[in-house]
Structure formats: structure tokens, C-alpha cells
Amino acid sequence: MSSDALKKRKSKVLRSDGGTPEMKRGRGEGDMQCVEVEQRRMQSCIHFMNLKKLNRLAHMRLKRGRDQTHEVIPTLLSNTVYEIFKEIPASVKSKHEEIDLVSEGEFYQEAPQEISRPHLTKNDPHQLTLARLDWELEQRKRLAEKYKESQASRETIQKSIEVKKEHLTSLQPGLNAIMQASLPVQEYLSMPFEQTQKQTEIARHLPPPLYVLFVQANAYGQACDKNLSVSISGDVDEAKALSKPPDDSQDDESDSDAEEEQEKTKRRRPTTGGQLDDKRREMLKRHPLSLCLDLKCKDGSILHLFFYYLMNLNILTVKTKVSTATDLNTAISAGELLKSDTLLSCLYTSDHGRETPNPANRYQFDKVGIVSFADYVEDLGHPYMWVQNLGGLHFPSDSSEVCTVSVGSSLSASHMESTMKLLRGRVQSRLALHKQFASLEHSIIPVSSECQHLFPAKIISRLARWTTISQQEYMDLQYTRHVSDAGLAKETDLYFMSVVERGTARLQAAVVLSPRYPEISPLFSLSLSWKGERSGRTDDNLRAMESEVNVFKNELQGPRPGHQLLTNQIARLCVCLDVYLETEGQDDGVEGPREFPREKMCLRTVRGPNRLKPFKYNHPQGFFSHR
């Protein structure tokens, strides 16, 4: 506020001092109001000045912020613009660059002149690119037309295929009816198509060894042996269940069954023996499908081979049965010839079929307490090595070999032909022995016409008895001890006793018959009861008689394959006994006729210091001589 205004106001106050008290009182109240107004005015001025100060500070801060922004923004804008322009060449491309155009040389070679325009495009890259794009468009139009034609042709062919499918589907019921109607014709012509198809379907569920045997036996039968037939038997549904993986539902059921079984076992615990029996049965369990091979021989007899697969032991076993066209005469001594336990024994050397050929089975048996597999062969069959070979199973026997088990068709094929020949030969030899034993038990020695020249016309000694004996009875005989000591009397052999008589002389012959007869000839051991007991160990002539039947057996073989060998040996034994008795000197002190008059013509009755007799028969001269 200015000083002039204060002075004027002061003079006004001085002039008013001279009034009345009321005026003074009123004037005093007016002065107080003026002071208050003055104070308010001063405060207003102060506030106004603060507002101006704050306004000025706000403007200054705004200016400072604008200056700083003006300095930063150009730099940021320049960086952003640089990045944008940097990305533009990479993102902005011409569409034709994505098209894979043909090369320029190929373009000028294939495109027509109105499109290629060489005079214009060779010097102008832009026109060249346009021309190549035109040529690409033209090619694509042509290919589109060709594609439409191919689609139409494809639809036509598809419709034709559908029509043919419907036709073939409608043919199936008719073909089934024709096949059913042709079954009698198939049986009459021995062309069982229906049965073969069913067998092939079932064969898919065979275990690998049986499947290999099925395929190889079928192939061999079709190619080489029409008398071999193969069939599959067993529970097909169970075999399918074995080949399917277990479902979750089955797992749940098995879990519930296991819980129920545990509850039962809590109430009644099984004994240790019962658990072992269950484990043995599980270990020796056979596959539900089996294979049957029928091998027909020339005489009409059939060898039935039943092959089984033991799943946990991974081996094959076989059982046998022989059926003949005619009923065989019952021969007591022939009881062991056609039995399943002995029929195929030692088909190959030392193949007894009593123990498992898989080395791993020994450890499996130890866990369940099986001492020997031989205790179970009667029920399960014999695990011969040739059976494993036919199934393609190879078990290494040499310790240097790697102990692995393999299944192979080549192994089966390499053994198939030889094994089938051995099987047929074994059946024929056993049937021939069966017939011969029936005659021998009636004291008749059958000699075929082809072998008549091996013996003189008159044979006086006769076969009195032919019986079977056990191996122990054979080994208990005194005159067979040398055979037992030499290891020539085996458990797999068959043992017989024949008795040849003439007058008071009685010749006993203990015979060892190998399962591989006639490949391995019978072995005779002799004992003579006449004027005392004599044997080949004490009498040189009895030893010479044993040599006649054991050593010179090739002379008695007869026609191949030598099924007459045994009966020819017995006939030769009778002839040798005649020579032995007729050439024996008579005591001078004995009066009367000779007990054994000479019927045989001998050049010399004895020879050498051993006084050996002439046992060799010479045909057709008809005399006996020394060897």
C-alpha cells in the first residue's frame, strides 16, 4: 500500500477525534473492522504472492521437462526408423520369388517363341522374369487339365472296383456251397482242399518248433513222400488264449482271484509236497495243440507219430503207435518190439530218449525236485534228439559251444529225409521180427527162398524153445559174462534165449538184439549140454560156432535190407550143431550104433592142434570145409 494513501487516511482519522461519545464509540467499532479487513487483505496478498510463485515454478518445471524431451525423442525416433527400414527388405518380397521356376536354359528350350521372345528377354531381366512366369502359368494350366482327366479316370476305375467287389462278395456263399458239395469228390481223389485250408488256419497258433515241423513235413510229403500225412489236433481255443496278451479286465479278475486265493490259503495252508506237485505239473505242461505224422509203409502198415511241445522246458516229445493192415499173430516174445518205449529207441546212435536234451532243464528240475525226466516219459513222450532236430531246436552238447537254443527250418529240412527213411526202416524191421518170433515160438525157423542155398537140404537139429529174458537174467549167465564185461549188453537192447536140441545134446544160445537191427547184427553166446557143460570159453569148437553166426554174419544177410538175418543165424546154428555132433569121435568102449550118425559130407573132420571142425558150408557142392 502507498504512503500517500496512508497519509490521507491518517488525516481522516484525526479529524474524526473531535466527535460525540456515541460517535466515538461508533468510530471505534469502525476502526476495529477496518483493522480486520486490513489484516485479511494482507493475508490475501500473501496468498496471491504464493500462488504466483507456485505458478512460476510450475512453468519452469514444464519448460525444463520439454527441453529434456526434445533432446531424447529425436534419438529414439531415429533408432526406430532405422530398425523399421532395416526390416523392410527382409519382409517385403515379390510373390514370384516364392515360385520355383524352370532354369533359363530349359525355358528357352521348351517354351514357344511367342512366350520366350528371345530378342527381348535375353537383354532385359525384367521381361525374362515375366516371360518365365507366363510359361509357368501355361504349364500349370496344362497340368490342371491333366489332373482333372486323371481324377475322372480314377473315379471310373474306383467305380469298376466297387462293382467287382460286390460281385466277388456275392460269389462267396456260392463258392462255400460248391466246396461243401465237393467234399466227397475231394475224398475220392485224395485232394482234401477243405481240410488243408482248415489245418493251415490252425497252424498259425502252433508254437514255433511244432510249426517248423508242420511246414517241413508238409513240404517233404508233397515233394518226396506221398505216403506221409500231417494233421493238427488239440484245443484251438486254448491255444488262441495262450497267444493273446492279457487284458486289463482279465488282470482285474486275476487280482480278485488272487485275493480270494490268499484268503483261502490263510484259512488252509497247503503242504509243501502239494506245492511241489503243482509246480511240477506246471513245469511239465504241454501245449494244447499237438502234431500227428502218419507214415505209411509198403505193406500197408502205418506208423503214427504224435509230437508234443513242453512249453516251460522248450523241448519236443514224441509218442508212437503202429497199425497194421492185417492182425499180427500174438507172439509173447514180440511184446517189446512195437511198444512206444522201445520202438524208436536208438534210431540214431546213443539216442535213448530218456533224458531231456536241453541243458537248462537240469536247473529247472532242481527247483521243483525232479530227479530224472525218465520218470515222466511214459506220460509225456520221449525227447529224442532227432525229434528236436525235426522241430528246428538245436541244443549244443559240446562245452566249447555257446549255450543258446535256436529254432531253424534249415536244421529241420536237413534231417527230414534221413529221419523218415530210418523211421520207415525201423517199422519194417520190427514187423518182420514180429512175424519171425511168432514162427520161432512154434519151433519153426522161417527161411526165405532167397536164402535156401545157405543151408544143406537136411537139417536134423531143431529149435526147441525161443523165449524172451530180462537183461539181469542175461548178465547172470556164466557164458555171457564176457559180453557184459565188454559193454555189449546195453539197457536199450532186447534179450532172448533159444534152445536147439538133437538127441541128448542141448545147445543154449543167449541172444542180444540191438534196437538198430539189422544194421547191428544180433550177438549169440553158446553153451552146450552134452557129456558135461561146455561154452565158448572152454571149447574151441563152440567158439568157432559163435564165430560162424557173429563174425561171418554177412554171408547170412540175405536180400537187403537183411530182415532175415536173425532166422538165418539160428538156422546156421542148427547146421553147426549137426556138424559138431556128427564129427565128434565115439568112445571105443561103447558098443552099438553111433548116437549121431554122419549125415554131412566133410572133407576133413578136424584140423590143427585145436581139432577144429569144418563148419563152412559150400554151395552147390554140398560139403563142409574149414575156413
What does the pLDDT read at residue 13?
44
Instruction: Write down the pLDDT at residue 20.
Output: 59
Residue 163 has pLDDT above 70, yes or no: yes
- pLDDT value for 608: 86
Question: Is the model more confident about 19 or about 46?
Answer: 46
Per residue in 29-78, pLDDT tens? 777 888 889 999 999 999 999 999 999 999 999 988 888 877 777 677 77
What torsion do the CA atoms of 19, 22, 25, 29 make, to the nearest 10 degrees? -100
Pick 292 or 406 by higher pLDDT.
292
**Residue ranges of the domains in the chain?**
104-191, 195-242+279-397+405-427, 443-586+595-625
- What is the Cα–Cα distance from 356 to 602, expressed in whole angstroms? 57
Residue 549 has pLDDT above 90, yes or no: yes
Burial class (CB in 10 A: 0-12, 13-18, 19+), 140: exposed
393, 407 Cβ separation under 8 angstroms: yes
Task: Convert the pLDDT of each residue in 427-458 to its tens digit.
Answer: 999 999 999 999 999 999 999 889 999 999 89
Cα gap 551→574, rounded to integer Å: 17
Q: Report the distance separating Cα 438 and Cα 330, nearest Å.
A: 7
**Range 538-551 average pLDDT:** 93
- Tallying the residues shown for the chain, one arrives at 627
> According to the model, what pLDDT value does residue 10 have?
47
* Predicted local confidence at residue 308, as pLDDT: 96
Rounding to the nearest 10 degrees, give the CA dihedral for residues 91, 92, 98, 99: 180
Note the pLDDT of residue 262.
57
| Per-residue pLDDT at 144 | 94
Quick one: pLDDT band at residue 16, thresholds 50, 70, 90?
very low
> 14 pLDDT exceeds 60?
no
Question: What grid cell was written down for 305?
Answer: 507219430
pLDDT of residue 403: 43
In this structure, of 190-194, 365-369, 464-468, the range with the lowest mean pLDDT score is 190-194
So what's the pLDDT on residue 6? 47
Average pLDDT, integer, range 231-252: 75
End-to-end CA distance of the chain: 181
**When comparing pLDDT for 5 and 78, which is higher?**
78
Query: Which pLDDT score, from 0 to 100, does residue 192 have?
Result: 67
Which of 461, 441, 582 minimizes the C-alpha distance to 526? 461
Write down the pLDDT at residue 230. Answer: 92
Please provide the average confidence, as pLDDT, over all residues in the chain.
84
What would the mean pLDDT of 398-412 be, rounded to a whole number? 59
Nearest to 440 by CA among 262, 573, 258: 573
Q: Provide, rounded to the nearest whole percent, the portion of the chain with pLDDT above 70.
A: 84
By the 8 A CB rule, do 540 and 616 touch?
no
How would residue 263 be classed by pLDDT, with cut points 50, 70 and 90?
Answer: low
Higher pLDDT: 523 or 69? It is 523
Distance of CA 431 to the CA centre of its chain: 36
Whole-angstrom Cα distance, residue 238 to residue 289? 9
pLDDT in tens, 312-353: 999 999 999 998 877 776 778 888 888 888 899 999 988 989
Give the SS3 label for residue 303: strand
| pLDDT given for residue 462 in this prediction | 94
Could you read off the pLDDT of 274-304 as tens digits, one per residue? 778 888 899 999 999 999 999 998 888 999 9
Q: Give the model confidence (pLDDT) of 193-232 as tens digits.
A: 667 778 888 989 999 999 999 999 999 998 888 899 999 9
d(Cα 527, Cα 482) in Å, to the nearest integer? 13
Mean pLDDT calculated for residue range 85-106: 70
Helices (H), 204-243: 208-223, 236-243
Name the more confident of 70 and 556. 556
Instruction: Report in angstroms the alpha-carbon separations of 358 from 227, 353, 397.
Output: 32, 12, 9
SS (H, E, C) 67-102: HHHHHHHHHHHHHHHHHHHHHHHHHCCCHHHHCCCC
- Which among 14-18, 145-149, 372-376, 446-450 has the top mean pLDDT? 145-149
pLDDT-derived band of residue 92, with 50, 70 and 90 as boundaries? low
In this prediction, residue 404 carries a pLDDT of 47
314 vs 316: CA distance, rounded Å: 7
pLDDT in tens, 452-475: 999 998 999 999 999 999 999 999
pLDDT of residue 303: 93
Asked if residue 590 has pLDDT above 60, the reply is no
Is 422 in contact with 543 (CB distance < 8 Å)? no
Dist CA 447 CA 456 (whole Å)? 12
Nearest to 346 by CA among 382, 302, 395, 321: 382
Instruction: Give the mean pLDDT of 158-169.
Output: 91
pTM score, whole prediction: 0.66
Residue 492 has pLDDT above 70, yes or no: yes
